[in-house]
Structure 1
Amino acid sequence: MNRSGSPVSVRDVDIRFDDFVAVRQANLDIAGGEFVCLLGPSGCGKSTLLNAIAGFVKPVGGEVTCAGARVTGPDVSRGVVFQSAEALFPWLTVRQNVDFGPRMRGVGKAQRASAVDRYLAMVGLSHSADRFPGQLSGGMRQRAQLARVLANEPSVVLMDEPFGALDAQTRLVMQVELDRIWRETGATIVFVTHDIGEAILLGDRIVTMTAGPSAAIKNVYPCDLPRPRDLTDPASAALFRQLREDIGTEVARTLRAQGLDDGHDGPDARQAAGRPADEDRRTRR
């Protein structure tokens, strides 16, 4: 694969909102062209860290760099795909949405048209180019949003649970398509998810975070399984169990802080981490 993506470095990053410490002392190096998944329970700072890489949030300590340059604000080199498809302009067609960024940057008409056609074809939306977002399914809107980001040819693509609102079957299709598009573009991808299986299917590495507040990077797991991946493969299943235990510890900590757990890794924590309580009982027999 052509590794054309830019490296990203997070160094001793602290993020605070007034008196609330969201992230503390985060350190992470992401290679150019790497696919990294940020995984953790709700409120662990995944999206906040992603926003710092995007330049939407300014750390109060430490720094984020992209291709060796300090991130001080949003930049076209770092494209963001949001969870909500409402990010599309509803009054523009799919083609016009994808064309918007290059047009704002002053790219010539012929070059824009060629790029728009390329990325619409890449995400499988050539046949829907002249439809409006409201005429598309949820999965198709997310494809359109991805094409709009890719049309700016960013070296880093940041994705904040982009498939979270999709039904299970559409989500599986989008995961396969994203893996293909990543291989074709060579961009660096940082992908926020709550879904352990999704992280295993997509990531080169999986980064877990501790429960917030004052969330930190907890562990980094290499995921060098051959692609395309099968979650029923023994190696995938073993990694799934390891990640489930890691995240389950943080879920249990959150529940205890909320007074919803007795201090043990009980059924609520296991289910929140993706492990049915009855499965755990079966393994103990």
Structure 2
Amino acid sequence: MSIAIELKGVSVKLGDTVVADGVNLSIAPGEFVCLLGPSGCGKSTLLNVIAGFVQAQGTVLAGGVPITGPGKERGVVFQSSEALFPWLTVRQNVEYAARIRGVSRSERTEKADKYLRMVGLSSAANRFPSELSGGMRQRAQIARVLANEPSVILMDEPFGALDAQTREVLQIELERIWRETGASVLFVTHDIGESILLADRVVTMTVGPKARIKSIAEVDLSRPRQLASSRAIELLRTLRDDIAVEVNKVLTAQGLVLGGRA
């Protein structure tokens, strides 16, 4: 099987702190992988390494080619909707990268229209980000990434700041978009239920510093998924227990010991 993203023996040092140490992970073309773990375990740092924003020791490959910096084949959706340019309309935000590359107006407009339709924002194309809800801004950010037609989409807790109802809607929409595009997705989240709903595999990490991959769980559930199924509940408990062990390590280091789950 070919590999979209591969990390081999990857270690990341920020200042004097070794954030992640000896990480090995591969993501197949078209695969949806969720990265799960306690705060401070290096999830976002690893995502930034793959994005090309942060340098690391070890081997980091995209499609078999070493990653030395950002590239249009790897799109990043950030947690904050403030990543949109507030002085540009939604359409102009989506067209921005193509305009910088010198793509003709007709071609970039056609592509922007395509992806605005895909995320359900055609009617908001001429609005500014400040005129949109949080969920609409995140959809606009996803459309901006899709307009570059990346083979890999990196998502750093993109729904973390949204209300529960909006988050649920966007989870469903993201799964649909993933299926339509065929891109590989690496999705950072703290939400165990979200990871079960979305992922082909859930990768959990140990607490940092020197965080490592703790476990990799196959999500062998048919789509669309329901968290009320017996298999989903079993998997949720397993992942919750994995994360609880790591959270308790943090609390113990801080002088607080819990008798049960975190």
TM interval, shorter chain, is over 0.9
User: Contact 1:54 / 1:158 at 8 angstroms: preserved in 2?
Assistant: yes
Equivalents in 1 of 2:250, 2:256: separation in Å? 9
1:62 aligns with 2:58: yes
The corresponding residue for 1:259 is 255
Give 1:56's aligned amino acid: F
SS, match of residue 35 in structure 2: strand
Cα distance, 1:248 vs structure 2: 0.5
Distance 1:224 1:7 in 2: 21
Of residues 18, 21, 25 in structure 1, which corresponds to 2:18? 21
Partner SS state of residue 250, structure 1? helix
Paired AA for residue 26 in structure 1: V
Aligned-residue CA RMSD in angstroms? 1.1
Offset from partner CA, 1:108-143 (integer Å, 9 cap, x none): 211111100000000000010000000000000000
| Matched length | 261
Q: Structure 1 pair 203/53, CA: closer, same or farther in 2 (3 Å)?
A: same
* Contact 1:249 1:265 (8 Å CA) reproduced: no
SS at match of 1:232: coil
Kindly provide the CA deviation profile for residues 212-263 of structure 1, in whole angstroms up to 9, marking residues without a partner as x. 11100110000121000000011111100000000000000111111122xx
1:186 paired with 2:182, answer yes
For residues 31 and 119 of structure 1, do their structure 2 counterparts lie closer, same or farther at Cα, with a shift above 3 Å needed? same
Are 1:140 and 2:136 an aligned pair? yes
Structure 2, unaligned runs of 5 or more: none
Distance in 1 of aligned mates of 2:169 and 2:133 = 13
Aligned partners of 2:152, 2:255: CA distance in 1, in Å?
A: 40
2:14 is aligned with 1:33: no
Q: Give the match's secondary structure for 2:40.
A: coil
Are residue 43 (structure 1) and residue 44 (structure 2) matched? no
In 2, Cα distance between equivalents of 1:119 and 1:184 = 11
Q: Find the partner of 2:97 among 101, 108, 121.
A: 101
Kindly provide the CA deviation profile for residues 79-135 of structure 1, in whole angstroms up to 9, marking residues without a partner as x.
Answer: 000000000000100000001011111212111111000000000000100000000
Aligned equivalents of 2:3, 2:50: Cα separation in 1: 12
Aligned counterparts of 2:50 and 2:209: Cα–Cα separation in 1: 19
Q: Is the 8 A contact 1:252 1:265 kept in 2?
A: no
Q: Identity of paired residues, percent?
A: 62
TM-score (norm. length: structure 2): 0.98
Secondary structure at 2:20's aligned position in 1? strand
Aligned to 1:154: 150
Instruction: State how 1:166-205 maps to structure 2 within 5 Å.
Output: 166-205=162-201
**What secondary structure, in the 3-state scheme, does the structure 1 residue paired with 2:25 have?**
strand
What is the alpha-carbon distance in structure 2 between the residues aligned to residue 200 and residue 116 of structure 1? Answer: 31
Query: Which is further off, 244-253 or 108-117?
Result: 108-117
Rate the CA distance shift 1:145–1:6 in 2: closer, same or farther, 3 A: farther
User: Match of 2:9?
Assistant: 12
Give the C-alpha shift of residue 17 in structure 1. Answer: 1.3
Q: Runs of at least 4 residues of structure 1 off by over 4 A? A: none
Counterpart among 107, 121, 127 of residue 123 in structure 2: 127
Q: Secondary structure at the match of 2:117?
A: helix
- Consecutive unaligned residues in structure 1, runs of 5 or more: 271-285
Deviations 1:162-213 (A, max 9, x none): 0000000000000000000000000010000000000000000000000011
